[in-house]
Amino acid sequence: MLGVDHSTDDTLLHERNKELSEKLLESLDGYRSMKRKYKYSHDKAVQLRKTMDGLEEDLAQGRACIDGLRQIVEIKNSQSAQGPEELDTLVYLIGNPESKSSDHHKWRTETDCSS
């Protein structure tokens, strides 16, 4: 070959390779960061789901207890008219576990973090 300088071609290729390698490392760092954020968010969603399931069970048990108390009051034919009203107030304050449960299940199906 007559006077062809391969050193400049090699230098250009080396510089281009270096630039691409740096971009690749930046991309890998970004991927790892996103992977950590996803894992953190996924773990939080699983924890929230467990908490919601526990609350759902607690609300159902509380509602069953109130229903039991209401039956006792009705059986005893309480002379006080406040008994059933107080139970209704208590049910209102606690809320309806069925509606909270359906809201939770709606959220669960929308977010579906089980995968």
Residue 74 has pLDDT above 60, yes or no: yes
Q: Which residue has the higher pLDDT, 53 or 105?
A: 53
User: Which pTM value belongs to this model?
Assistant: 0.48
User: Is the dihedral angle over the CA atoms 56, 59, 64, 67 positive or is it negative?
Assistant: negative
Torsion angle of the four alpha carbons 91, 92, 94, 95, in this order, in degrees rounded to the nearest 10: 110
Quick one: average pLDDT of 77-102? 61
Instruction: Please tell me the distance from the alpha carbon of residue 92 to that of residue 66, in angstroms, as a whole number.
Output: 11
Residue 112 banded pLDDT, cuts 50, 70, 90: low
87 close to 66: Cβ distance less than 8 angstroms: yes
Domain ranges for the chain: 8-110
User: In this predicted structure, what is the pLDDT of residue 44?
Assistant: 95
pLDDT digits (tens, 9 = 90+) for 14-60: 999 999 999 999 999 999 999 999 999 999 999 999 999 888 888 88
